[in-house]
């Protein structure tokens, strides 16, 4: 057997987890020495931002409720201006990956600390990865300064997350863990978190779909999302995330549904070259056929099944393949153009081969 060999660097994250933990926001802010926080949200989650502002009282500098998917550069500039105008000494990002991404963009440009309160399973709050979109191109990078100083996971805030979004957001999280298990910088600690994250989410998502307001199911799902997000923050992602980035960035496919559709196809391609990852996923999903199980659970929970449903066409595949090959990325096995074409054609039509 091969001797283990790894480097593990823990990220300095403070996590407060539990139903009702939003109420601890003022305490968290004080603990970080913050006195004037700008609260960030999407337009749709404005009332939640108002709740956070009320909790903060005098420590609230204002509300900026214009966060949008993929952090458009003009919105980030406007939010940064709002932070300056209100004299904010930090931000509270309350919402999904889009809102947390906006907090990170402000942190990147200004160094202002961010407290995150995630309300989806996307996992951005656990990563030093930022993104900014300008002129139709999404730029991403890693920078320690964008890591939230404190993260409040309150499952009560996820009770309102619609079932379809919950399911695809959950699969987005599972995808982080799958790729962390075969990452070039995988490590035993992260692999434990990945396996447990997948187990939690796979168990919780059917329960969430059956009873979206069940706090136990929501708590289990958020627990899994936290672990999977930590995996994303700690490792280098491979082919799956590369393809999703291209499909979202160039073809405007929706982020979480794209992850959900594509994951079983990439797993079927990669797992034969990653036996330890496959063993961990078999345990987590209690199955001998990981790709089939991922596809089946997603389909049973009503998720989209093909990239065509999300708007991709046969004609687009050449560009996806060209972009995937234009810059190198990590992967447990090489993915030449013909292999990518087979994988993407199957995912386009929703036909998982064995
Ligand atoms: P999102 O943040 O866009 O949220 C989707 C919609 O659901 C929004 O309209 C939001 O207001 C609403 N919503 C969120 N939580 C809700 C709740 N509890 N109840 C009701 N409505 C709610 O979607 P997302 O999937 O969380 O994030 C996707 C974005 O995050 C993408 O841009 C993606 O690239 C980015 N992302 C970044 C990282 C990273 O590490 N940087 C990781 C994952 C995702």
CATH architecture for residues 15-158? 3-Layer(aba) Sandwich (3.40)
Which class is domain 163-349? mainly alpha
**Phi then psi for 115, rounded to 5 degrees?**
-105, 130
Distance 264 CA to ligand 1 centre (A): 22
Q: Which of 41, 65, 97 to mutate to test the pocket of ligand 1 (most atoms within 8 A of CB)?
A: 97
Please tell me the predicted confidence (pLDDT) of residue 250. 87
Ligand 1 neighbourhood includes 70 CB (under 6 angstroms):
yes
Ligand 1 nearest-atom number relative to CA 126: 40
Residue range(s) in the chain whose domain bears CATH number 1.20.1090.10: 163-349
Which residue ranges does the chain devote to CATH 3.40.50.1970? Answer: 15-158
Burial of 7 (0-12, 13-18, 19+ CB in 10 A): exposed
The structure's pTM equals 0.97
- Rounded to the nearest whole angstrom, what is the distance from the C-alpha of residue 100 to the centroid of ligand 1? 8
Does the C-beta of 103 come closer than 6 Å to ligand 1? no
Query: Rounded to the nearest whole angstrom, what is the distance from the C-alpha of residue 17 to the centroid of ligand 1?
Result: 19
Cβ(285) – ligand 1 distance below 6 Å: no
Q: What is the C-alpha to C-alpha distance for residues 48 and 83, in angstroms, rounded to an integer?
A: 19
Quote the CA–CA distance of 135 and 63 in Å, as a whole number. Answer: 27
User: Distances from the Cα of 140 to the Cαs of 71, 96, 108, 331, in angstroms?
Assistant: 11, 17, 12, 19
Number of H helices, E strands in the chain: 13, 8
Is the distance from the beta carbon of residue 166 to the nearest atom of ligand 1 less than 6 Å?
A: no
d(CA 310, CA 117): 29
- Give the distance (Å) from ligand 1 centre to CA of residue 177: 18
Strand partners, 129: 142
Give the H or E element holding residue 233. helix 215-234
Instruction: Classify 70 in phi/psi space as left (phi over 0), alpha (psi -120 to 50) or beta.
Output: left
Centroid of ligand 1 to alpha carbon of 7 (angstroms): 31
Nearest-CA residue for atom 22 of ligand 1: 161
Which residue lies with its CA nearest to atom 36 of ligand 1? 97
Closest ligand 1 atom to 158 CA? 18
155 lines ligand 1 (CB under 6 A): no
Q: Which of 16, 244, 225, 259 is nearest to 121 (CA)?
A: 225
- Cβ neighbour number for residue 212 with a 10 Å cutoff: 16
* Torsion angle in degrees (nearest 10) through CA of 97, 279, 284, 289: 90
Phi–psi pair at 34, nearest 5 degrees: -95, 135
Residue among 144, 156, 255 whose CB has most ligand 1 atoms within 8 A, to mutate: 255
Burial of 284 per CB tally in 10 Å (0-12, 13-18, 19+)? buried
* b/e code 74-103 from CB counts within 10 Å (16+ = b): ebbeebbebbeebebbbbbbbbbbbbbbbb
Residue 138 has a pLDDT of 81
Long-range contacts of the stretch 299-303 (C-beta < 8 A, 24+): 300/206, 301/163, 301/167, 301/205, 301/206, 301/209, 302/163, 302/164, 302/167, 302/209, 303/164, 303/167, 303/168, 303/171, 303/257, 303/260, 303/261
Question: What atom of ligand 1 comes closest to residue 168's alpha carbon?
Answer: 25
Torsion of CA 313, 289, 277, 189, to 10 degrees: 110
Q: Tens digit of pLDDT per residue, the chain (354 long)? A: 678 889 998 888 899 999 999 999 999 999 999 999 999 999 999 999 999 999 999 999 999 999 999 899 999 999 999 999 999 999 999 999 999 999 999 999 999 999 999 999 999 999 999 999 988 778 899 999 999 999 999 999 999 999 999 999 999 999 999 999 999 999 999 999 999 999 999 999 999 999 999 999 999 999 999 999 999 999 999 999 999 999 998 899 999 999 999 999 999 999 999 999 999 999 999 999 999 999 999 999 999 999 999 999 999 999 999 999 998 899 999 999 999 999 999 999 999 975
CB-ligand 1 contact for 119 (6 Å cutoff): yes
Alpha helices in 235-274 (DSSP H): 239-249, 255-270
Q: Which of 294, 274, 298, 295 is nearest to 286 (CA)?
A: 294
Whole-number Å distance between alpha carbons of 313 and 90: 43
Any ligand 1 atom below 6 A from CB of 150: no
CB count in 10 Å sphere of residue 6: 11
Mutate which of 124, 153, 221, 248 to test ligand 1's pocket (most atoms within 8 Å of Cβ)?
124
- Atom 35 in ligand 1: which residue has the minimum CA distance? 97
Quote the pLDDT of residue 1.
63
Residue nearest to atom 20 of ligand 1 (CA): 161
Give the DSSP H or E segment for 115.
strand 114-118
What was the pLDDT predicted at 353? 72
Q: Determine the length of the chain.
A: 354
Residue 1 alpha carbon to ligand 1 centre in Å = 42
Alpha-carbon gap, residue 342 to 345, rounded angstroms: 5
For 182-200, what is the HEC assignment? CCCCCCHHHHHHHHHHHHH
Confidence (pLDDT) at 354? 54
Supply the residue whose CA is at minimum distance from atom 17 of ligand 1. 161
């Amino acid at each position: 057997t091969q001797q283990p060999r790894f480097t593990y660097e823990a990220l300095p994250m403070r996590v407060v987890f539990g139903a009702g933990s939003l109420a601890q926001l003022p305490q968290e802010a004080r603990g970080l020495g913050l006195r004037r926080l700008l609260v960030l949200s999407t337009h749709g989650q404005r009332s939640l931002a108002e709740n956070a502002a009320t909790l903060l009282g005098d420590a609230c500098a204002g509300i900026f409720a214009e966060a949008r998917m993929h952090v458009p550069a003009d919105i980030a500039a406007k939010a940064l201006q709002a932070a300056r105008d209100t004299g904010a000494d930090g931000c509270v990002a309350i919402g999904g990956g889009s809102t947390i991404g906006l907090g990170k963009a402000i942190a990147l440009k200004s160094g202002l600390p961010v407290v995150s309160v995630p309300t989806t399973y996307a996992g951005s709050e656990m990563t030093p990865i930022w993104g900014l979109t300008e002129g139709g191109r999404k730029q991403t990078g890693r920078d320690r300064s964008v890591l939230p100083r404190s993260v409040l996971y309150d499952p009560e805030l996820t009770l309102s997350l619609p079932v379809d979004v919950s399911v695809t957001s959950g699969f987005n999280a599972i995808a982080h863990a799958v790729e962390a298990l075969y990452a070039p910088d995988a490590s035993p600690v992260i692999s434990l978190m990945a396996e447990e994250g997948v187990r939690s989410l796979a168990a919780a998502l059917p329960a969430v779909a059956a009873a979206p307001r069940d706090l136990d199911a929501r708590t289990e799902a958020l627990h899994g999302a936290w672990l999977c997000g930590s995996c994303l923050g700690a490792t280098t992602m491979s082919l799956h995330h590369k393809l999703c980035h291209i499909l979202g960035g160039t073809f405007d496919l929706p982020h979480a549904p794209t992850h959900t559709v594509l994951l079983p196809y990439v797993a079927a391609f990669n797992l034969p070259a990653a036996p330890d990852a496959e063993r961990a996923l078999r345990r987590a999903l209690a199955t001998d056929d990981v790709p089939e199980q991922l596809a089946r659970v997603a389909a049973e929970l009503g998720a989209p099944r093909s990239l065509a449903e999300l708007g991709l066409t046969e004609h687009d595949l050449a560009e996806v393949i060209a972009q995937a090959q234009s810059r190198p990325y990590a992967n447990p096995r090489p993915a030449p153009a013909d292999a990518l074409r087979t994988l993407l054609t199957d995912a386009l039509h929703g036909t998982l081969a064995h």
